[in-house]
């Protein structure tokens, strides 16, 4: 038999904690949507509608980073960088897409409030929103490269930023999804590089 969800059936401290969590979640959603709507109002353009989906596609399944890893592994001087990149990419994908997304199950913004001018490429997204898989993978890969070669790492980080922004532009991730993905990606890339140094 299901008990009625009444305050007398739950400890007071649990009720207070749940209320705090709900308030925090609502506040975060309001901030996230405000940022997304500001991007739509002030950053949307015909050129952006062409270029930003292309940047987003570069991050699909880590495509651009897998290609970069293959090119780096082919040359002996950069082989170690390529292998560390692959390890970081694997770890980031495992953490973001196979652990956190199914665990948190956060809906994507366009599932909750689809804008009238949503670009068609957004409709391909069917997985959960937190964290941004494109962002965590891109920052993990770019950070891994940067730890080994700053000359190559700087443009890699710039590309990671563009891929991350494209996810906001397309309205497929909340800003907090992207921020978390960037922080987790940087942490993953640094830890992978540090582990590689210890193994060497």
pLDDT digits (tens, 9 = 90+) for 87-137: 999 999 999 999 999 999 999 999 999 888 889 888 888 899 999 999 999
Query: What's this model's pTM, rounded to 2 decimal places?
Result: 0.86
* Mean local confidence (pLDDT), 43-63: 93
Q: Which two tokens stand for residue 69?
A: 């890893």
* Mean local confidence (pLDDT), 151-167: 97
Of 6, 13, 57, 134, the active-site residue reads 134
Q: Which of 18-22, 118-122, 142-146, 155-159 has the lowest mean pLDDT?
A: 18-22
Sign, Cα dihedral of 116, 117, 121, 127: negative
CB 135 within 8 A of CB 182: yes
Based on the residue annotation, tell me whether 173 is a catalytic residue of this protein: yes
Packing angle, helices 133-148 and 79-93, rounded to 10 = 150
Return d(Cα 68, Cα 62) in angstroms, integer: 10
**110: closest CA among 120, 100, 122, 121?**
122
Based on the residue annotation, tell me whether 13 is a catalytic residue of this protein: no
CB 88 within 8 A of CB 13: no
CB 36 within 8 A of CB 168: yes
CB 170 within 8 A of CB 121: yes
**Helix, strand or coil for residue 59?**
coil
């Amino acid at each position: 038999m299901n008990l009625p969800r009444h305050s007398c059936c739950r400890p007071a401290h649990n009720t207070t904690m749940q209320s705090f969590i709900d308030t925090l979640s609502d506040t975060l959603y309001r901030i996230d949507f405000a940022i997304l709507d500001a991007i739509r109002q002030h950053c949307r353009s015909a050129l952006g509608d062409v270029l930003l989906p292309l940047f987003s596609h570069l991050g699909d399944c880590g495509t651009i980073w897998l290609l970069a890893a293959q090119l780096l592994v082919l040359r002996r001087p950069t082989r170690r960088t390529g292998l560390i990149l692959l390890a970081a990419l694997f770890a980031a994908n495992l953490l973001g897409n196979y652990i956190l997304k199914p665990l948190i199950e956060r809906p994507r913004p366009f599932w909750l409030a689809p804008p009238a001018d949503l670009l068609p490429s957004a409709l391909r997204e069917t997985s959960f929103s937190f964290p941004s898989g494109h962002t965590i993978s891109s920052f993990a890969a770019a950070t891994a490269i940067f730890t080994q070669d700053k000359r190559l790492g700087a443009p890699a980080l710039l590309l990671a930023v563009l891929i991350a922004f494209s996810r906001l532009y397309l309205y497929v991730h909340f800003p907090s999804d992207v921020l978390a993905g960037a922080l987790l990606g940087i942490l993953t890339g640094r830890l992978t590089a540090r582990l590689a140094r210890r193994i060497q």
